Structure 1
């Protein structure tokens, strides 16, 4: 199946096309420039692959959490493209995308993904790869003070020696996160890349989760206040 993925939820702006088994990708750190970059990036990957948008099977978008403005830009572009080519859409978590990269690129099957949420808080989620190589939530995504992360992981009974830490939060709050003894690969996986949304999105489409573009929704997380424990550990 052939899919286009786009993300503008953080300081990074990225697009990835999976077409006939090949990937065509663009990624750029571009705060405040997402609205100018996304469509040219889409044109570039489509032209490089020699394919039209209408020839694809679906569109995958970064649903958040992240910058409210960036998330809205990404969803708006995704909806416009999907409408124009009559494509179904699937939203993929920003945090889950980085955990997927940790698995695909670095072989880390479990990852804590955390990005700066401003206001002295972080967006955070914990994920583990399943037997199909797709990362799944071990906890619900939340926003909280970075000082609380070590406690949250302890509540989940996670052996942090086997867990990767990814995302911009580690550089934004180094002192507050110092007690979290994870395998840090945040330099390599600082922001989400659309390329690593492809496997997650493809699995969602295969499960029948594709929806009409009008139903594309952001996930801001700031109204989420519970941190669910692993099954059997409530």
Structure 2
């Protein structure tokens, strides 16, 4: 394997860049992996704007922290699921930054956007919980939702119970005592089970601050890869509905 894209087996934890462009929000942070609060962070308009603003935002935050790109211990990013364009933007930028930062490259840590939702919801709504179950969901468009389930414990951190997959909004899981978090409540409204509408966690987005907190566990688990490993997790290969499928969807909604 090319040494330019081969990370060290266990990178340091002190200087990390984290970014997410998987939704309509552009989120970037710099700080120590596993830290509760980053040194500097930014959240703003993403979507079509992300490709133009991501690199200047990264440069500005590194300057604010007083770091050079070559000094980074690693780069964590949300690799999906999420917006197809957003995921491709993140992967392309991370590959370029990691490979070009220094000889040998900077280690890359791909992390689930749904796990980032779960971590953001935990810290905001149940920071003192010793045990917690979180159902995390993100709008997949085309009348579908990306969803996964995670269990948290103080002793063992996060554990994936159900991996990222697609469901209809009406079929999202609802579990008493669990958190139901994501960005789907504002999209599908009353079509969702009531648990997704009654909890504040329902307005949670994946964010770079959550990715930074998750990064230490990812490093410990040996999940870092070289620049070439910055690849998207799509879950679904289809980008859009056909004209006939769009018409059928509108008809079914009207009938409902």
The TM-score with structure 2 as length reference comes to: 0.77
Are 2:206 and 1:192 aligned? yes
| Residues 176/204 of structure 1: CA separation in 2 closer, same or farther (3 Å cut) | same
| 94, 100, 104: which one aligns with 2:113 | 94
Quote the residue 1:68 is aligned against.
Answer: 84
Worse-superposed segment, 15-24 or 35-44: 15-24
Segments of 5+ residues of structure 2 without an aligned counterpart are 1-12, 238-256
Task: Say if 2:18 and 2:211, in contact at 8 Å, map to a contact too.
Answer: yes
Partner SS, residue 116 of structure 1: strand
Larger Rg: 2
Comparing both structures, which one devotes a greater share of its residues to helix? 2
Are 2:63 and 1:44 aligned? no
| Residues 5/166 of structure 1: CA separation in 2 closer, same or farther (3 Å cut) | same
Task: Say if 1:103 and 1:110, in contact at 8 Å, map to a contact too.
Answer: no
| Residues 133/17 of structure 1: CA separation in 2 closer, same or farther (3 Å cut) | farther
Partner SS, residue 212 of structure 2: helix
Are 2:30 and 1:14 aligned? no
Quote the residue 1:105 is aligned against.
Answer: 124
Q: Deviations over 1:74-125 (max 9, x none)?
A: 1110111101121010101111101001112221632211111111100011
Worse-superposed segment, 6-15 or 172-181: 172-181
Pairing of 1:167-186 with structure 2 (within 5 A): 167-180=182-195, 184-186=199-201
Segments of 5+ residues of structure 1 without an aligned counterpart are 154-159, 224-234
Task: Say if 1:115 and 1:124, in contact at 8 Å, map to a contact too.
Answer: yes
Pairing of 1:138-153 with structure 2 (within 5 A): 138-150=161-173, 153=174
Aligned residues: 214
Quote the residue 2:251 is aligned against.
Answer: none
Are 2:93 and 1:77 aligned? yes
Task: Say if 2:47 and 2:86, in contact at 8 Å, map to a contact too.
Answer: no
Displacement after TM superposition at 1:67 (Å): 0.5
Quote the residue 2:70 is aligned against.
Answer: 54
Worse-superposed segment, 100-109 or 121-130: 100-109
The TM-score with structure 1 as length reference comes to: 0.84
| Structure 1: 4+ residue segments shifted above 6 A | none
Between the aligned partners of 2:60 and 2:156, the Cα distance in structure 1 is 29
Q: Deviations over 1:144-197 (max 9, x none)?
A: 1111114xx5xxxxxx232122111122111221344675124651x2111100
Partner SS, residue 80 of structure 1: helix
Quote the residue 2:45 is aligned against.
Answer: 29
| Residues 43/132 of structure 1: CA separation in 2 closer, same or farther (3 Å cut) | farther
